[in-house]
Amino acid sequence: MSNNNSLIKKLIFKLIKKHILGSTLNSAVKNIRELNSRGFNTTITFLNDYVTDSSKARYNINTYMQLLRQISKFNLNISVSLRLSQIGYNIDRNLLKGLEEIIELSNKLKVNLWLEAGYNIDINSLIKIYKKYKPKSKYLGIEIPIQFKKIENYFDNTDKVKLSIYKNISNIPIDKDMMQKPAALTKSESKIQKTNQSKKEKPGHMQIAESINTIKKLSNKGLKLTLFIHNLGLATKIFKDIKENEYRKNLIFELPLDNYSKKRFKMIKMNKISIYAPYGKDLIPYAVDRLVDGYIKDIAITILNGRYTKYNKPMNIYEK
């Protein structure tokens, strides 16, 4: 059985290696320096999630502290992305101290730190945590799905916001009642929609239009946004459809590591490109996330690695 597991891990590594910086921090730093030398900004995250006890959460906290120190030591042009689920927020509220340590160090070393929710932590709780610690660090930002309902009401031009944009809406890790609902259509708009449907317009067109509308609303409030787009084709469509320079100049486009060398990427200026690049040995969840779409992802991770079975519903960490 152990031989089979070893074979599976080797196979997964072959499939996923172009999507990650490396399995160790040293290999990740080496590859980041190469990306920086080519003019790319980079966002790094550690592949170790779904913690089941406080000792593993503390290990992840220490790893992020070490990562921040290495970034400072080598003067790398890089941001760090941290999921709250990695440091045990879905199992122990007392691990808040670990987040405080990471935020304090990132501020001291002047390294941008993005907060994500991660598995089974709701977006409203993430926003509360971000707002709580934002005054303590000008290098702190938040990443949330662009489909989050009335997103423009939560942020102003003092916030650092990254919008995560998925090709497949089923990938969005938020509850249905948090999703933006399409506005009621006027008679003329309804007629246009029916005409488009009769022309077999692709369903993704409406999603792109809604995403662009959200981007413009936030830009009009003075926010400089990072758009983490999980698919190169979708990034190209959104970039082409945002024609006004007043919006483009305040946008950074971020794509997964495996997309950065594609020719179509040349349409965006180099200083407007960021590369999302994870590292680590915990490959299975990220492999499934990159190679499989939709709810099959959850099923596949349950089969390959039983870590999901510990959690059966989202937890609000502010519950008493």
- Which domains are assigned to the chain? 23-310 (3.20.20.220)
- What was the pLDDT predicted at 176? 44
- The residue with greater pLDDT, 247 or 82, is 82
C-alpha 217/C-alpha 139 separation (Å) is: 23
Whether the pLDDT of residue 215 is over 50: the answer is yes
Task: Express as a percent the part of the chain with pLDDT over 90.
Answer: 40
- What was the pLDDT predicted at 279? 92
Q: Which of these, 228, 262, 269, lies nearest to 245 by C-alpha position? A: 269
Task: Express as a percent the part of the chain with pLDDT over 70.
Answer: 67
pLDDT in tens, 29-56: 999 998 888 888 899 999 887 788 889 9
Give the global pTM.
0.79
- What was the pLDDT predicted at 43? 95
**Rounded mean pLDDT of the chain?**
78
Q: Residue 149: which pLDDT band, with cuts at 50, 70 and 90?
A: confident
